[in-house]
């Protein structure tokens, strides 16, 4: 299920991830997605740590479509891939699978912009990021 | 800021809502939105409690656009309104304002479907829900 | 219920604070307690913001006794008071009441030490803190 | 580090587990501990699922001592063992280690009582639980 994704993670469901509907709470999928995004960022920058005091990536928008409700115990299998690079942002697409049920549970898309934490404004996508993403995704020509 | 919303809430930011970027974590806005959705549901059903063993509303999709990063201490001012009723679902739109900065911080839209927890499948929107929503929104003709 | 506490807070229960037992999750009481601790710190330092890059207070230990399980909707009424000042630490005691049920729901105690984030080791309690706490608690002679 | 524990877990740290102090938030250790407790319960009941509509175990009290602050990325190595069985409750002790630093990060103790969800009151510890715990811990004579 994860073979088409350049970045993958496995995260066990915690009991406390479930809410009063006795399913994994909707916000938990986005918390997993957040760590997947960090892993993707780490992968295309060759391990440069996110440094929140300088220029960095910020999440401008995300969505999540819920397909199958996960429960504890289970393990979330998470795949992250590029969806699109635009001039001033790039889009990731994250698929979350239930290992126990071998089913797609949720899909999230995220719009990411570069932000200059010193100038306190949006910055153009650094060239090194674009090259890193293209290399990671096998798009480099 | 909240005058156009039939349902409003005030939720104080907790210190632990902030993450390592020292802003309110993105998932927290959706946790607030979730409680706003419950309040909206409570309002149009005249106080009928959500009962997760029978037919109920479930979240099929949501998104969130981040406009201004909130921090602790602050209070989230939250307004919830109908965006659209379709045949088998309705859409809510939630605006989250920073009280301290008197600014719009985030906007979330949500797609809600009726789900029959006994038949384990999607159900048509109950007529009582549509009438309740129209009354709450002042749309009843 | 809160008349014996120099620092008090009101925090609404969120729907997502409940877990699969359909009660407020145990960790949520400690998240509220954390914000109560910040409010107490803010009160005895006359509003000095916590600055995590310098010397600061850190939580060395806490406990929580669960007396009555809260549910959504409700509001947590939280009182924070000094329990004891020792040479190198002070202890707070936090009482959490259910507004809906007018009952004590949980009691947490916390051991707080001063930590020098530059020297990366425990520091003696600053004299200004001790004086601030004694003034806040009406203990100053 | 985990060789003395009959029940162990590995849980990866998520980025969002960190708070504004840029350490794993104190409540997260107790969320891990909660899942460790479920795993322990599962182990001594030979896999009987927790059923929150009948008699069950509830957490009456817990504490946590913080020894070393974990950060993302890391993996929490968690060991759970019996501390003591009393007439109407038993105590677990949970040790949380940082895999990256190979150090003990936190220790939590928990007091667990049996609760009859139908009679809505505390129940004596079922004989099957005591036997299950003694077998799991190698205490059976």
D139 lies in some domain: no
Predicted pLDDT of residue B59: 96
What does pLDDT average to over chain C?
92
Q: Is B68 on the interface with A (CB under 8 A)?
A: no
CB contacts < 8 Å between A and B, how many?
45
Confidence of residue C121 (pLDDT cuts 50, 70, 90): confident
D138 lies in some domain: no
Predicted pLDDT of residue C120: 81
**Min distance A86 CA to chain C CA atoms (Å):** 35
CB contact under 8 A, C26 and D26: no
D116 lies in some domain: yes
Q: Six-digit token pair at A34?
A: 């957040």
More confident of the two residues A129 and D5 = D5
Percent of chain B with pLDDT over 90: 72
Predicted pLDDT of residue B141: 58
DSSP H/E element including D17 = none
More confident of the two residues A44 and C56 = A44
C-beta atoms surrounding D131 within 10 Å: 13
Predicted pLDDT of residue B120: 81
- Alpha helices of chain D — where are they, by DSSP H? 26-44, 127-136
CATH number of residue B109's parent domain: 3.10.129.10
Distance CA D110, CA D87 (A): 15
Q: Check if the beta carbon of residue D106 is closer than 8 Å to that of residue C59.
A: no
Distance CA A55, CA A34 (A): 18
A107 lies in some domain: yes
Q: Is D68 on the interface with C (CB under 8 A)?
A: no
**Best mean pLDDT range from A1-15, B39-53, C110-124, D118-132:** A1-15
Q: Check if the beta carbon of residue C70 is closer than 8 Å to that of residue D76.
A: no
Mean pLDDT of A86-92: 92
Predicted pLDDT of residue A140: 66
Predicted pLDDT of residue C57: 86
Give C87's DSSP letter.
Answer: S
C92 lies in some domain: yes
Q: Is D47 on the interface with A (CB under 8 A)?
A: no
Task: Return the closest-CA partner of residue D126 out of D51, D56, D49.
Answer: D56
Among C10, C14, C34, the residue with its CB nearest the CB of B15 is: C34
Distance CA B53, CA C134 (A): 53
Q: What is the domain count for chain B?
A: 1
CB contact under 8 A, A52 and B27: no
Domain that residue A32 falls in: 7-120
Give D14's DSSP letter.
Answer: P
Confidence of residue C3 (pLDDT cuts 50, 70, 90): very high
CB contact under 8 A, D65 and C61: yes
Confidence of residue D48 (pLDDT cuts 50, 70, 90): low
Q: Is B69 on the interface with D (CB under 8 A)?
A: no
Percent of chain D with pLDDT over 90: 72
Q: Check if the beta carbon of residue A64 is closer than 8 Å to that of residue B61.
A: yes
Q: Which of B15, B22, B94 to mutate to test the interface with C (most CBs of C within 10 A)?
A: B15
Q: What is the maximum span of chain C, computed from C-alpha positions, in angstroms?
A: 50
Mean pLDDT of C46-61: 72
What does pLDDT average to over chain D?
92
C61 lies in some domain: yes
Strand partners, B112: B59, B90
Among C9, C16, C34, the residue with its CB nearest the CB of B31 is: C16
C22 chain-A contacts, CB cut-off 8 A: 20
Predicted pLDDT of residue D88: 87
Mean pLDDT of B7-12: 98
Q: Six-digit token pair at C70?
A: 């809260």
Predicted pLDDT of residue A105: 98
State pLDDT tens for residues B65-85. Answer: 999 999 999 999 999 999 999
Which own/partner contact pairs does A41-44 have at CB distance under 8 Å and 24+ positions apart? A43/A6, A43/A7, A43/A136, A44/A129, A44/A132, A44/A133, A44/A135, A44/A136
C124 lies in some domain: yes
- Rounded to a whole number of angstroms, the CA Rg of chain D reads 16
Q: Which of B2-11, C122-131, D5-14 has the lowest average pLDDT? A: C122-131
Percent of chain C with pLDDT over 90: 73
Q: Is the pLDDT of residue A141 over 80?
A: no
Task: Return the closest-CA partner of residue C127 out of C90, C81, C72.
Answer: C90
Predicted pLDDT of residue D141: 58
Q: Which of A63-67, B57-61, B100-104, D49-53 has the lowest average pLDDT? A: D49-53
Predicted pLDDT of residue D47: 65
Predicted pLDDT of residue C47: 66
This prediction has a pTM of 0.94
Q: Check if the beta carbon of residue A8 is closer than 8 Å to that of residue A80.
A: yes
A46 lies in some domain: yes
Residue whose entry in the numeric block shows the structure tokens 């419950």: B38
Q: Check if the beta carbon of residue D33 is closer than 8 Å to that of residue B33.
A: no
C31 chain-D contacts, CB cut-off 8 A: 27
Predicted pLDDT of residue C88: 87
Q: Is the pLDDT of residue D49 over 80?
A: no
Predicted pLDDT of residue A101: 98
State pLDDT tens for residues D57-115. Answer: 899 999 999 999 999 999 999 999 999 999 889 999 999 999 999 999 999 999 999 98
Predicted pLDDT of residue D124: 87
C-beta atoms surrounding D101 within 10 Å: 13
Predicted pLDDT of residue C126: 86
Q: Six-digit token pair at C1?
A: 């219920």
Q: Is D136 helix (H, G, I), strand (E, B) or coil?
A: helix
Among B20, B34, B63, the residue with its CB nearest the CB of A63 is: B63
Task: Return the closest-CA partner of residue D27 out of D73, D59, D62, D75.
Answer: D62
Mean pLDDT of A30-39: 97
Predicted pLDDT of residue B39: 95
Q: Check if the beta carbon of residue D98 is closer than 8 Å to that of residue D74.
A: yes
What does pLDDT average to over chain A?
92
Q: Check if the beta carbon of residue C105 is closer than 8 Å to that of residue C69.
A: yes
CB contact under 8 A, B65 and A61: yes
Buried b (16+ CB within 10 A) or exposed e, B77-114: bbbbbbeebeeebbebebbbbbbeeeeebbbbbbbbbb
């Amino acid at each position: 299920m994860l073979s088409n994704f350049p970045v993958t993670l496995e995260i066990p469901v915690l009991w406390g991830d479930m809410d009063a509907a006795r399913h994994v709470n909707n916000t938990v999928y986005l918390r997993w997605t957040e760590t997947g995004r960090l892993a993707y960022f780490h992968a295309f920058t060759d391990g440069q740590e996110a440094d929140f005091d300088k220029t960095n990536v910020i999440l401008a928008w995300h969505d999540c479509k819920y397909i199958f409700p996960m429960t504890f115990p289970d393990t979330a299998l998470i795949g992250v891939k590029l969806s699109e690079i635009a001039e001033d942002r790039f889009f990731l697409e994250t698929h979350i699978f239930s290992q126990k049920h071998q089913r797609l549970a949720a899909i999230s898309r995220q719009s990411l912009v570069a932000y200059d934490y010193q100038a306190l404004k949006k910055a153009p996508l650094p060239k090194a990021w674009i090259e890193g993403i293209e290399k990671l995704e096998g798009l480099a020509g």
